[in-house]
Structure 1
């Protein structure tokens, strides 16, 4: 892997900000709001921001970059596909539960459903995410799917995944602002009470987390090598410790014969394009 230290710093920063974001959203609902419950009241609504942040943002972000973690390169591509799909499935389930919490609260409190732009875009994101998940499983986890279909669908799959991730963060920011405007009355949101400042910081954390995930996901030099290259490097490495697979792969790549590695990479890229 090129720029190993830069990758590690970026990954650690994303992980730290993701954890802090979860702590912030829990602190918000437990300290400033009514806590968490499933009783049709405000405490049930609070599950919505908690599950959206944990599932639809943090877990989805992890699913996006899981292929790029060098520690997973010793696993087969098929296993990584199942892990990628599994993380996305858990994120989708949590998002559905979050939606149910909102509808249940609204129905109990006699509040109309689906009247705001936040609700429109949120429901659209959940539906499109479900479609993305179904198509991804159908294309890449069902053996009978033609290789040509997989190759043709891959650019759309990657783009739509990044688009949905970005959209979910944007919709979450809309929801945070909407909740603060409706939920703060004395003092009001415009008066910048402590809760407003605290939750605004949460929004900033989510934006930074999203930016770091997108940076990791779009660096071509941090892409998972093909299985053929990994096999070649492991063979040449003579039994290197798998726990050091990231730095070891970088060193082996640098020390290998340029022409040979270039040929292997070109052949492997063609195989990857056909498989994915």
Structure 2
């Protein structure tokens, strides 16, 4: 089963690189590049940071425990790597939100008016809550066993829900951006499928494929990290079942 896992894991890594490459090329080639000055270029950081944080880094952090070569390492090391990756993903997501709010303030655009914005902000808030509660409940040595037992199923469920919300946020945001730009300030119409629309639609397909591959890894029980014995289990950040 190990070689099959590495095939899927390699596929996930390839999709990660393609998602990052597509979202950067989109904003460099068609949207004009990047700036942090509340201009139109300021907004371009938003899709790059959200896809990088909420999808790519979050998804790869979720499968850290499934990688067989990490099973020979101390579990606490894997937990800290996982927590660190999730923390960076959260920071990128917060920066992505900051970019879009700053852009809106620069152009006097109302905040939080679309379904995409509601789903997106909910996803980041859930993510932040998940990270804080997980750190307190599973990482701190002083956390009581009953708290870890109570939080474990919640943490597992929330981890998967956040990934679903992340995918929904990014896909809806990509569609919203195309509708606003190609039917608004751009001469090309979205329904005419200009090159940009085709390219970005492929980005959406790549994001969905990445999410499916991550869930495929998470739901195969044979790819879970073997149960460890010893006192270190009392200081785990997440259970081996956690996504």
Q: Structure 2 length normalisation: TM-score?
A: 0.92
Tell me the equivalent position of 2:115.
117
Tell me the equivalent position of 1:146.
144
Tell me the equivalent position of 2:190.
189
SS of 1:81's partner is: helix
- Structure 2 distance, partners of 1:56, 1:121, is 12
Tell me the equivalent position of 1:249.
none
Asked whether the equivalents of residues 40 and 104 of structure 1 are also in contact (C-alpha less than 8 Å), the reply is: yes
> After the TM superposition, which parts of structure 1 deviate over 4 Å for at least 4 consecutive aligned residues?
270-273
- Structure 1 distance, partners of 2:58, 2:110, is 29
Tell me the equivalent position of 2:172.
174
Deviations 1:150-205 (Å, cap 9, x if unpaired)? 12221110111011011111111000000000011322111111100100000000
- Structure 2 distance, partners of 1:113, 1:156, is 31
Map residues 41-120 of structure 1 onto 2, 5 A cutoff: 41-120=39-118
Over aligned residues, Cα RMSD in angstroms?
Answer: 1.8
Alpha-carbon offset, residue 5 of structure 1: 1.9
Unmatched runs of 5 consecutive residues or more in structure 1: 232-269
Q: Number of residues paired by the alignment?
A: 233
Q: Which residue, out of 118, 135, 144, partners 1:137? A: 135
Instruction: Assess, with a 3 A threshold, how the Cα gap between structure 1 residues 100 and 272 changes in structure 2: closer, same or farther.
Output: closer
Asked whether the equivalents of residues 116 and 172 of structure 2 are also in contact (C-alpha less than 8 Å), the reply is: yes
> Highest Rg: 1 or 2?
1
Tell me the equivalent position of 1:28.
26
Q: Which residue, out of 10, 13, 16, partners 2:11? A: 13
- Structure 1 distance, partners of 2:49, 2:32, is 16
Unmatched runs of 5 consecutive residues or more in structure 2: none
